[in-house]
Amino acid sequence: MNRLRWMPLVAVALVVCVAPAAGAKPPGGAVISPVHRAAGMSGGELLADNWVTDLSNPAGTFAGGCMLLGNDDRVAFPAIDENLAATCTVKPGTPVFIAPGSECSDVEDPPFFGATAAEQRACAIAVDQDFFLSATISVDGGKPVEIIAPRFELVSPQTTVDLAPDNTLGVPPQTATFVAHGWGAMVRGLSPGTHTITADVATSDGAVSTVVFTIHVVPRGHAR
């Protein structure tokens, strides 16, 4: 089960259609909310784009930094490294997309195999529900928000990807289809400066892991 991971993790979006009442307010005015739309995509579409970006590059390409997702690359996702950390520099107005989860495809062995879209969807949901017990998100030491909850749940459409050599799935390069599942939260309203987003994750194998994202919010044209 060690392939289940935090998929592409920080979202930079110019417009996110989320009702303010649905979120929690950490220090400094930031808001933690479910993902409805960001950068012209639904939450499920962002989740799929996340996996496509990762799987079409060799494993570890983005570790410790950010992926760019969404229309016009307006979404960034910090991908954790072996130390369960990632550091990103973004411009003001950048929300952070956090989505622990997995996928099932037509090229993997069980328990990650599904031949059809319906089978892949059922597989990804079942694997995640069996594995993830809790995942809380906090910003700059604020109150943690539990995201393993129905309002944060995301499922991607079935998506086709050309797998890179040495890909994350550990299979030969080829064309594959997959469906991804996860629980997605968007952190919006980070002010200029350095912020720490902490995710504490408990899984059914007994592990409790702390993931730390360091987000430098820097206005365009200003060097850190």
CA separation, residue 13 to residues 40, 86, 99, 222 (Å): 9, 19, 15, 20
Question: What does the pLDDT average to over 180-205?
Answer: 93
* CB atoms near residue 116 (< 10 Å): 12
Per-residue confidence band for 54, with pLDDT thresholds at 50, 70 and 90? very high
pLDDT the model gives residue 224: 59
Write down the pLDDT at residue 151: 96
Q: Residue 8: its pLDDT value, please?
A: 38
Q: What is the pLDDT of residue 222?
A: 63
- Asked, as a colleague might, if the bond just before 111 is cis with ω within 30 of 0, I would say yes
Phi, psi dihedral angles at 153 (to 5 degrees) = -70, 140
Average pLDDT along the chain: 86
- 78 falls in which pLDDT band (50, 70, 90)? confident
- Name the band, by pLDDT with cuts 50, 70 and 90, for residue 221: low
In terms of DSSP bridges, do strands 175-183 and 159-162 run parallel, antiparallel, or are they unpaired? Answer: antiparallel
Mean pLDDT for the stretch of residues 178-183 = 97
pLDDT tens per residue across span 108-119: 999 999 999 999
Partners of 75 in the β-ladder: 69
pTM recorded for the entire structure: 0.85
Name the percent of the chain lying above pLDDT 70: 86
Q: Ramachandran region of residue 140, left (φ > 0), alpha (ψ -120 to 50) or beta?
A: left
